[in-house]
Amino acid sequence: MESMEKGVVHKETAVEPDEGKYTLIRSNSDEYLIEPYLYGGLYDEPLPCFGCGIGWFSFLLGFVFPPLWYYAAFLYLRKYSRKNPRERPGLGASAIAALVCTVAAVIITLSLVL
């Protein structure tokens, strides 16, 4: 299309997207990505248990009181981390610790019985 402004002919051209390349799409919410501290995100509040989360708290205290590992493993299997994904690594570590503790208990029990 050609338009005429004050005697000058301007040619309007549509930009063709390149084949196989990504195109940057901007929206009105891009300010949230640039300055998230101004808007307050979904996970801005601190985690429970002194800020380290239930999973890591259970993992650390599980060395003193191992049933906490089983509690955290139960939470992990019940998808507690859907509420806050930051809990997932600690709950997973506690579930693995519970598994190792169970295997060790079974091996020790079998070696004492047999």
Could you tell me if residue 107 is inside a domain? yes
In a domain, 35, yes or no: yes
Q: 97 in a domain, yes or no? A: yes
Position 1 in a domain:
no
Residue 109 maps to a domain? yes
In three-state form (DSSP H/G/I as H, E/B as E, the rest C), the secondary structure along the chain is: CEEEECCEEEECCCCCCCCCCCCCCCCCCHHHHHCHHHHCCCCCCCCCCCCCHHHHHHHHHCCCCCHHHHHHHHHHHCCHHHCCHHHHHHHHHHHHHHHHHHHHHHHHHHHHHC
Q: What is the pLDDT of residue 64?
A: 93
The answer to whether position 72 is within a domain reads yes
Note whether residue 24 is domain-resident.
no
List the domain range (segments joined by +) for residue 50.
29-113
pLDDT in tens, the chain (114 residues): 455 555 555 555 555 555 667 666 655 555 555 555 555 566 667 777 777 888 888 999 999 998 999 999 998 888 887 778 888 888 999 999 999 999 999 999 999 988
Q: How confident is the model at residue 22, as a pLDDT?
A: 66
Count how many domains the chain has.
1
In a domain, 20, yes or no: no
